[in-house]
Amino acid sequence: MRFTRATVSLLLLLIATTPASAATREEKRVADSVDVLDQLLRIPEQTIPPTLLARAYAVAVVPNVVKLGFGIGARRGKGILVVRQDDESWSNPAFVTLTGGSVGWQIGAQSTDVILVFKTRKGVDGIANGKLTLGADASIAAGPVGRHTSAATDLQLKAEIVSYSRSRGLFAGVALEGTGVTMDRKSNAAFYSDSTLTPEKIFASSPNIAPDIANTFVQMLTAQTRRLPKQPGMQAGTTPATAQSEENSSSVRTFGMPDPDAQEANSNDEQYDSGY
C-alpha cells in the first residue's frame, strides 16, 4: 500500500469526523500520533534525518506533552512505542507515559509533541521492565534536524536515544535528561481488550489483534522509513542472508539500512516514494 499525501489527508479526515463516542482515549492517542508522523512528510527541511529513522530499533511518539511551570516545571504526556521486528516490519504499538521535571524560573504552560528514536534495544527493555530514566538508565541527546544532515553526523551520535520535540509545526532536538518513561499497562489492556498482554507479547503479536488505527500508524511510520515493508509482516527488500550479515557486523542489535552515504546522495530523488 502506497501512502500518498491525499491518502494521508483522507485518513486524518476520517479520524477527525468519527463520532467521539466511537473512539476511545487510546484510539485518539494513536490518531494524534499519526498526525505527528504526517507532519514529518510536510517539512522535509526541518525534520528528523531519514538516515536516523531508517536505522532506529524503536520509535516512541508522545503527542501533546504538556509542560507546566511556576518556579519548578513539570512535563507529562502519554504516547505509543513501536519496535522493529526481525523481518524489519514495525510492531503493534504499546502505550507509554512520559513524566519529568525541571528546575529554574519558568511560568506558563506549553504543549509539544515528543519523538524518541531508540538506536538500540536497551532503552526499550528498561521501559518494558518497569521504568526508563532518560540520561541515567540510557544515554540521550537532542537530535539533529534536516534531511541533508550528514549521515556521518547521524551515525556518530554516541547516545542510545535521540530526542525531538515539535512545536509550531517545526521539529527540533530537545534535552530530556531526567525524564521518566514507563509502560502504560492500563491503556494497553483497554486498547487490546486483554489485561494479560505484556509489552513483549504486544510487540510479537499479529497486527490483527489491534484496531485499524494501529495499522494506520505502522503504515505511516513505514512511509517515513522507506525501503521497509509497506504493511506489518511483509518482508523488506533485503534478503535474509544480507540482513544476517548486517546484524553480525555490529555488536549492538540494530536494524541497519542500505549504505547511508548512498542513501544521502539519492535523498533529493528518493526522499519519498514516487506516490508522493
Alpha carbons 30 and 221: distance in angstroms, whole number = 12
Q: Which residue has the higher pLDDT, 260 or 187?
A: 187
- Residue 255 inside a domain? The answer is yes
Alpha carbons 210 and 58: distance in angstroms, whole number = 18
Q: Which residues have CB under 8 Å from 144's CB, separation 6+?
A: 49, 52, 153, 154, 157, 173
Place of cell 491518502: 7
Domain encompassing residue 102? 5-270
The pLDDT value recorded for residue 149 is 56
The pLDDT value recorded for residue 157 is 63
- Residue 261 inside a domain? The answer is yes
- Residue 275 inside a domain? The answer is no
- Residue 242 inside a domain? The answer is yes
- Residue 276 inside a domain? The answer is no
- Residue 236 inside a domain? The answer is yes
- The total number of structural domains in the chain stands at 1
pLDDT tens for residues 95-131? 999 998 665 554 556 788 999 999 999 999 999 998 9
pLDDT tens for residues 202-237? 999 998 999 999 999 999 898 877 653 334 433 333
